[in-house]
Amino acid sequence: MRILIAAVGRAKPGPHLDLQRLYGDRLAWGLTIAEVEERRKLGPAEKRERESEMLLVRVPERAVVIALDERGTVLSSAAFAQKIAKWRDAGAGDLAFLIGGADGHSETLRQRADFLLSLGAMTWPHLLVRGMLLEQLYRAQQILAGHPYHRE
């Protein structure tokens, strides 16, 4: 199985990128991180639409699309691992996690998503979300392998 994280914004050297690499390097699943950035000055609605288009272009054909969205479903780590296992067992070759910009995702992207995932009710910086998501992917990998990294 391959994992794509397509995210708005560029990670610069520093703690956010270090955290991203720490957990990304631990994944046994193939990992690609695609960064997109709209540099034109656009209004919030137009920028959200453009960023969503840029994210969707990165999604591999037939990938399961998971959009990180504040209105999405909150899962425990164990439930997240089981969701990944379900997709894997159904034959998904690619999981595409989409992280929007400051104004979130367009309705078109939300409609295209196979699943909306929320990391909780709090608002998180988009660069920090990458590291948090990667840690949860690593945790899911370890749960599915029966490794004691995760404790209930």
- pLDDT 10s digits, 97-131: 999 998 899 999 999 999 999 999 888 888 899 99
Q: Is the pTM of this model over 0.85?
A: yes
Question: Which letter, b or e, does each residue of 37-58 get, where b requires 16 or more Cβ atoms within 10 Å of its Cβ?
Answer: ebeeeeeeeebbbbbbebbbeb
Do residues 34 and 7 lie in contact, with contact meaning Cβ atoms separated by under 8 Å? yes
Give the neighbor-by-neighbor strand order of the sheet with 94-99: 30-36, 2-8, 94-99, 64-74, 115-118
* Residues 6 or more apart in contact with residue 29 via CB below 8 angstroms: 1, 2, 3, 137, 141
Do residues 37 and 8 lie in contact, with contact meaning Cβ atoms separated by under 8 Å? yes
Q: How many CA atoms lie within 13 A of 64 on its CB side?
A: 20
pLDDT at 150 over 90: no
- pLDDT 10s digits, 68-100: 999 999 999 999 999 999 999 999 999 999 999
Q: What are the structural domains, with CATH classification, of the chain?
A: 2-145 (3.40.1280.10)
Count of other CB atoms within 10 angstroms of residue 79: 12
pLDDT > 70: percent of the chain: 98
